[in-house]
Chain A
Amino acid sequence: MDFGYTPQQEALRREVRQFIRDNMTPDLAEEMDVHANAERPRGTSPSAHEFYRKIYERGWLGITYPKAYGGQGGDRLTQYIVEEEFTRAGVNIALNGSGAPAIMAAGTEEQKQYYIPRLIKREISFCLGFTEPHAGADLANLKCSAVRDGDYYVINGQKMYTTAAHSATHIYLMARTDRSAPKHDGISIFLIPMDAPGITVRPLWTIQNNPTAPLPTTYGASRTNETFFDDVRVHKSCLLGEENKGWRVGSMGLNLDRVGASRYLISVRRDEDIVNFVKSTRFDGFEPGKDPAIRDKIAEMWIEAQVCRLMTMRSMSIVERGGKFTYEGSAEKVWAPEHGVRTTEAITQMLGPYGSLLRTSPHAIEDGVFAHNVMGSFQSGINHGSVQVMRDQVARRGLGMPSSRKSRKAEG
C-alpha cells in the first residue's frame, strides 16, 4: 500500500498550479468553467482555444492516450493529478463523457485516427445520446431506431437529457438496429455529426436554470436538451464496433465515466467550501465555526469526503494495475453522489435562511453556490446510472447476490 505521491508527482502538481496561476484570467475562468451559463457553448472562444493549445503543448491533454493518436502515452495517476488541478480551477480537461474511451476500445483504425486527436485537442466534442423518454435507468429499453439501407442507416427517434447537444459537434448515439432480438442484443452505437440533416435540438430547462448562475457551481449546467432524429441518414462508417454489439461498448464507456477526478471532485468541493467559509465568517454574534453541532457535522462530512477520495484512489489503483472493477466503480458512484447530497443538505442546516439565497439575491453568500447546489446536488446520483442501479451492481457483481424472480423471468 502506498497512500502518497512521489516527489515527481508532487512537482507536477505544483507545475500545473503555477500554470493555472500564470494563465487564468477572470474572463477566461468564466468562459472555461465546466458549469458556466449553458446558453453559451463553453471553451469555444479564441482565448479558450489558445488556453487549450497551451495546455496541450505542456502535454496535459489526453495523457493516457497513445502518442500515435495525439495523446501522451502516460499513466492514469498522472492524468488524475493534472485533471484534479484543472477541475479545481474550473477547467475541464478530461475526456470522460466524450466517447473517447469507447472509441479507443471499439473503434476502427480510421475512427481512432480521426476522432481521438481531435477530441484531445478539443476541436470536436461529443454529447451523449443514450437516454430516451421511456429508457432511463432501464437503458436497454430504448426505441430510437437505426434501419440499414444499403451503405447507410436511417435513424428515427428521440433522445432525452442530451446535455451539451447544442454545443457539441457530434453525438455518441445508442440506437436499436434489431427489433426482434432480446433487448440487449439489438443495440448499436453510432458516431454522428450534429449537423447531419434531420437532427433537431430543443432546450430543456432544469430547476437550476438561473440566467446568472453562480460560478463555479458544482453540479451541472442549467440547460440540457432533447434531441430528435427524423430520417437522419448516416453512412455505415459511423457505426462504432459491431452492429448489435453496442450494449457492451456503451456500458463500458459509462463504467469509465463513473470514475476519475472530476466525478469525485464535484461531490466534495462543498466540503472544502463550508470549512473555509466558517473559518472566516460571523453573522453578528453568531460564529458558525464555533458551534459544536456544526463542527461535529463538518467533521462527519469531511470524513465521508475522504472516503470518496479513497474510493477514487482505489479505482485508480485497480486500473493502473491493469485490473477490472467488479463493483468498485459502482460503489464509488453510490458513495460520492450521495455524499454530495448529504453534505449539501447539512450545509443548508448550518446556514439557515442564508442557505436559500441565490447569487443575484441581496445577502447571498459565496455567490449563492450553496443554494444552487440544493437544486443540483442530486443530479450526480441520477445521471450515468442511478445510485439504485449502482447498488444493484455492487450487490450482484460484487457480492454475488442472486437476481430476483421477476428479473430472472424478464431476462428469460
Chain B
Amino acid sequence: MDVLMNDDERMIADSAREFMDAECPPALVRAMETDPLGYPKELWAKVAELGWQGMCLPENSGGSNMPLVYLGLVLREAGRALAPLPLHSTAVASLAIARDGSEAQQATYLPDVVAGKSIMTWALTEDDPRLIPEAVKMQAKAHGEHFVLNGVKLFVDNFPAADHVLVAARTESGSKGAQGLTIFIVDAKSKGISEKGLITLAKDRQSEVTFKDVSVPKANIIGEVGAGWPIIERMLDRGTALLCAQMVGAARKDIEMAFEYAKFREAFGQPIGAFQSVQHMCADMQMWVDGAELLTFEALWKLDQGLPASVEVSQAKAFCNEKCEAAVRQSQTIHGGIGFMMEFDLQLWFRRVSAWSMRLGTAFEHRARIAHALIDFPGTVILGRPVPVVPESA
C-alpha cells in the first residue's frame, strides 16, 4: 500500500508533462477546434515515437505492455494539456483487440496502432444514451462469410480521423439485453458508412455514424458471435477509468490557474486569494480533484491486477463527473468575467471537463451500479473490502 507515484511512474508523468508543455500550447487546442479531423498529424506521429499509442499493447505488436496506470498517467498529462489527439478512443478500441481479440486480429491491427498509422474508435450508443445492452438495437445479419450491418450510432469519438471502429450490433434477431450482441472491427472507410458531425460543448469530434448495408467479414468479430457484451463491458471499464484520468489532469490544470489568478488579482486592497471565502473555495477544489485522482488510480490499479474493478471505476467516474465539474465551475467563479471570455484560455478547460463529465456514464448510472453491488448481494459490507461481498475464508 503506497498510493503515491513510484519513481518509474513519476518519470513517465514528468516526461509526458514536459513533452506536452513543449508541444501542445493552448493555441494548438484552439486551432484544432475548427480542424475537420480535429488533430494535428505531426503531433500524433511524435507521440507514436514516444510510444504512447502502444504503451499497453503487447510486445509482439511492437507495444510496451505496460500497466494501465502508466497510460492513465500519460492521459492525465494529455488531459492537462487538452491534447487534441485521438489517443483515448484509440487506446480504448485497441486495448479491446489486445485483450479480447484473436492473435490474427492483434497481428493485423495492432502494429499499425503502435506505429501511429491507425486511429481507432468505438461505436456503441444509439438513441438511448445509457450504457446498457438493451440500448443497442443495430442489426447485423449473416450473409455468407460476412455480416451486414444496418443502423445509426451516436456519440462516436474521432470518427472523421478513424481508420477502424469497433461496432456493437445484434446478430440474433429479436434478442434483447446482453444476449445476441456481437462486436465487430469495421473499416471506417467501408462502403455504406456515412458520418454527420455533432457539435459539442468541447468542440471536439463526435459523430452520428450511419451504417447502411455495411458488409463486415466474419473474421472481424471479436470473441464469439453473440457473446460481445462482456467484451464491451471490459472495454467500457477501461475506457471510463482512462477518461477519468484525462478529466483529472484537465481539472487539475484548471484549478491551478484559479489558484494563481487568486494570488495576484486584487480587490478591496488585497489579493482575492487572501479572502477566506475564496481560500475555502480553493481548498474544496483541491480536495475534490485529489479525491477524483485517488479514486481513478485505484480503479486503474485494480484493473491492472486483474481484480474486479467495476465498482471502483464507477466510483471514480461518478465522483469525477460531479466534483471535477464543480471544481472547474468554481474556477470560473474565481476568475469572474475574464473566465467567461473566449480569448482567455480558461474556458478551453472548462468546456472540455464539462463535456467529458457527460460521457461514458452519468453519475446516476454509475451510482446505480455501485448501489447494485452494495445492496443486492448477500453479506456484510465493509469499506475497503470488495463489493459485492466476497465471503472471508478465515
Contact = CB atoms under 8 A, between A and B. Distances in A.
A402 B263 contact: yes
Given A306-B315, A310-B295, A405-B269, A299 B383 contact: no
Question: Is the contact region of chain B dominated by helix, strand, or loop, or is it mixed?
Answer: helix
B199 interface: no
Given A276-B381, A299-B368, A303-B318, A320 B273 contact: no
B64 interface: no
Contacts of B295: 303, 306-307, 310
B120 to A, nearest CB: 27
Given A299-B318, A391-B283, A404 B276 contact: yes
Interface string B280-303: 101110110011001101100110
Contacts of B378: 279
B382 A272 contact: yes
B4 interface: yes
A266 interface: no
B382 A391 contact: no
Nearest to B275: A404
A33 interface: no
A296 B365 CA distance: 9
A2 B298 CA distance: 8
A335 to B, nearest CB: 6
B262 interface: yes
Contacts of A334: 283, 287
A68 to B, nearest CB: 27
B87 to A, nearest CB: 21
B371 A299 contact: yes
Given A299-B374, A331-B286, A391-B283, A404 B4 contact: no
B74 to A, nearest CB: 14
Interface residues of A, number: 58
Contact of B2 (A275, A317, A392, A402): A317
A300 B367 contact: yes
Interface stretch (A160-168, A239-247, A393-401): A393-401
A309 B280 contact: no
Contact of A3 (B1, B5, B381): B1
B337 interface: no
Contacts of A401: 259, 262-263, 273-274, 278-279, 282
A321 interface: yes
A288 to B, nearest CB: 9
A91 B383 CA distance: 18
Nearest to A88: B382
Interface residues of B, number: 55
A56 interface: no
Contacts of A1: 2-6, 9, 69, 297, 301
A325 to B, nearest CB: 12
B65 interface: no
A113 interface: no
A334 B5 CA distance: 24
B280 A307 contact: no
A353 interface: no
Contacts of A309: 383-384
Question: Is the contact region of chain A dominated by helix, strand, or loop, or is it mixed?
Answer: helix
A298 interface: yes
A223 B54 CA distance: 62
B211 interface: no
Interface string A281-316: 000000001001001101110110111011101101
B301 A295 contact: no
Contacts of B122: none
B311 to A, nearest CB: 9
A5 interface: yes
Contacts of B380: 272, 276
Contacts of A30: none
Interface in A356-397: 388, 391-392, 394-396
A398 B64 CA distance: 36
Contact of A392 (B69, B279, B318): B279
A278 interface: yes
B364 interface: yes
Contact of B274 (A292, A320, A398, A403): A403
A4 interface: yes
B27 interface: no
B270 A404 contact: yes
Interface string A267-278: 010011001101
B306 to A, nearest CB: 12
B390 to A, nearest CB: 12
B291 A307 contact: yes
A251 interface: no
A307 B288 CA distance: 9
A370 B378 CA distance: 22
Contacts of A135: none
A2 B301 contact: yes
A310 B294 contact: yes
B159 interface: no
Nearest to A394: B283
A369 to B, nearest CB: 16
Contacts of A313: 1, 3, 294
B305 to A, nearest CB: 7
A396 B186 CA distance: 54
Nearest to B255: A399
A303 B3 CA distance: 17
B240 to A, nearest CB: 14
A310 B316 CA distance: 12
Contact of A311 (B291, B371, B382, B383): B291
B308 interface: no
A405 B43 CA distance: 47
Of B5, B278, B282, chain A has the most CB atoms within 10 Å of the CB of B282
A5 B4 contact: no
Interface in B340-376: 363-364, 366-368, 370-371, 374-375
Of A334, A388, A402, chain B has the most CB atoms within 10 Å of the CB of A402
Interface of B: 1-6, 9, 69, 259, 262-263, 269-271, 273-276, 278-280, 282-284, 286-287, 290-291, 294-295, 297-298, 301-302, 305, 315, 318-319, 363-364, 366-368, 370-371, 374-375, 378, 380-384, 392, 394
27 contacts: A1-B4, A2-B3, A3-B298, A3-B301, A275-B374, A279-B378, A298-B374, A299-B367, A299-B368, A299-B374, A303-B367, A313-B1, A313-B3, A314-B3, A314-B4, A317-B4, A321-B4, A331-B283, A388-B276, A391-B276, A392-B280, A394-B283, A395-B276, A395-B282, A402-B270, A404-B275, A405-B269
Given A295-B371, A303-B367, A331-B286, 5 more contacts: A272-B380, A300-B367, A311-B291, A314-B3, A388-B276
Which 3 residue pairs across A and B have the least CB separation, nearest first?
A395-B279, A299-B367, A295-B371
